[in-house]
Amino acid sequence: MSDQEIRFFLSLFAFFSTMFGACVGSFLNVCIYRVPRGESVVTPRSHCPHCNALIPWYLNIPVLSWLALRGKCANCNGPISFRYTLVELLTALLFLAVFMKWALPAVCHVSPITNVAAVPCYWLMLAGFIVGTFVDFEHYIIPDSVTIGGMAAGLVLSGLVPSLHNETVWYWGLAESAAGMAGGFALLWAISWLGEKVFKKEAMGFGDVKLMGAIGAFMGWQSVLFTLFVSSLLGSISGILLIALGRGKLQSRIPFGPYLAVAATIWLFWGPMLMNSYLKLISR
């Protein structure tokens, strides 16, 4: 293939990754709304939350429909939350980023790391993070389908794609995953137990404990330590900011799942790089 042909196919694949992400984001919106309400994510078809009118497929196109209708229902003019578009854009962007990082070097032969198989695995993991984050913001829970489902998916995919943990045989991939899951689960469980003893109230939800298990199952024990450190840092900074802005109190309840998800996403894209520069810094 000529350079030009390669570039053409790459842009095509990148385009489809983004479009696919937007469509998955559209489905994640359904999950974010319905899973915590105990409704089916398959039926009934999408309807307006105000007037219950069915939304036809041509008004249910990710991002574009929301823009065309200026965030209003075509039937009753009721406001449609920007959150729907935000979730679609976020999913599209993250799907493209995963494609660029894990499939592009392999396809362009610029890097010996060929890990195209990791792409769908990380897509699934990030989809879980997005659902967990937005549900936690609204309901202060993280659905079991995200946390327990994430642990199960992480284990199975690590056996199928051991390169997720830089391994080449399935049982080492599985072993790394199991170690990460157990480590993440035990660490947050210990912290939540300790927090309850010290503060005499629930310091961390059990959903957070299970979510950390899922993070470890997908990315190993190193990701657990990094995620704990960075999420605590982000949580403290935003807590202080909220208090400074008069939007929160020391006692106000802040969902911790979103911080775990953001920190784990930072690890996915930049973690090993950040860790190496940190190790270089302290070894000087």
Residues that bind Zn ion (CB under 5 A): 48, 50-51, 73, 75-76, 78
Closer CB to Zn ion, 50 or 101, in the complex: 50
Contact 60, 2 (CB under 8 A): no
Q: Give min distance, CB of 22 to Zn ion, in A.
A: 22
Q: Give min distance, CB of 74 to Zn ion, in A.
A: 8
AA identity, residue 111: S
Q: Give min distance, CB of 51 to Zn ion, in A.
A: 3
Q: Give min distance, CB of 69 to Zn ion, in A.
A: 10
CA distance 59 to 76: 14
Closer CB to Zn ion, 67 or 76, in the complex: 76
Closer CB to Zn ion, 60 or 145, in the complex: 60
Q: Give min distance, CB of 76 to Zn ion, in A.
A: 3
Question: How many CB atoms neighbour CB 38 within 10 A?
Answer: 6
Measured CA distances, 202 to 171, 188, 198, 199, 237 (Å): 37, 13, 10, 8, 21
Closer CB to Zn ion, 35 or 73, in the complex: 73
207 φ, ψ (degrees, to nearest 5): -60, -40
**Helices then strands (H, E): number in the chain?**
10, 0
CB contact burial 178-216 (16+ within 10 A = b; e otherwise): bbbbebbbebbbebbeeeeeeeeeebbbebbbbbbbbbb
Closer CB to Zn ion, 77 or 252, in the complex: 77
CA distance 249 to 188: 24
